[in-house]
Structure 1
Amino acid sequence: MAMSSHQENKPASPKPYGGKATRSAQLHKLLTRKSGVTLAQLQKIFGWQPHTARAAISAQRKAGCQIERSDSDRGSVYRVVRADTAA
């Protein structure tokens, strides 16, 4: 079938974002848990090396989150103490 002259080939409209949360958002969610998150957990969840996990935590700090580190029998535990949402 031939297309009539008033029909045009329109590019597909962009789909609204509805996929998985970004790694940054996933990390933030883990950091806001009452129990926090350890480097070992981040390595297992994301497949990161320890230095990558620490860099991602540092990026959260730069984004305005106050993150505390405490030592436990599980290793260093990181958790958000306060998050500044105003940018």
Structure 2
Amino acid sequence: MTTLDLEPQKTAIPKTVVKKPTRQAQLHKLLTRKSGVTIAQLQKSFGWQPHTARAAISAQRKAGCVVARTVTDKGSVYRIVAGQGDR
């Protein structure tokens, strides 16, 4: 006597891989906002220390972006104004 396999066969469904934006890409997006970003906002967004946030901004400069710093009542505001590294 033969037993029949009555369960349907499962076919492998390819999973789509959604890549998370890198921290540098997220930082670039924050820096290109019209309002810019402060060190305190970067600390809160990424959980960074102040020196890490400043180093990440420096890395954007090294990538070819022109980052302007404006002193306001809420602290220094950084924003990308122009540059060949714009994405």
Query: Aligning the two structures, in what range does the TM-score lie when normalised by the shorter sequence?
Result: 0.7 to 0.9
Q: How far off its partner does 1:69 sit?
A: 0.3
Question: Is 1:25 aligned to 2:28, yes or no?
Answer: no
Q: Which structure is larger by alpha-carbon Rg, 1 or 2? A: 2
CA 1:43–1:65: 2 relative to 1, 3 Å? same
Q: How far off its partner does 1:18 sit?
A: 2.4
1:68 corresponds in structure 2 to: 68
CA 1:35–1:19: 2 relative to 1, 3 Å? same
When the two chains are superposed, the root-mean-square deviation of aligned CA atoms in Å is 1.7
2:34 corresponds in structure 1 to: 34
Code of the aligned partner of 1:77: V
Q: How far off its partner does 1:73 sit?
A: 1.1
1:43 corresponds in structure 2 to: 43
Q: How far off its partner does 1:75 sit?
A: 0.4
Identity, in percent, stands at 71
TM-score, with structure 2 as normaliser = 0.77
Measure the CA separation in 2 of the matches of 1:63 and 1:81.
Answer: 14
1:82 corresponds in structure 2 to: 82
For the residue of structure 2 that corresponds to 1:21, the secondary structure is: coil
Moved over 2 A (4+): 15-18
TM-score, with structure 1 as normaliser = 0.77
Q: How far off its partner does 1:74 sit?
A: 1.1
Instruction: List runs of 5+ in structure 2 lacking aligned partners.
Output: 1-14
Code of the aligned partner of 2:51: H
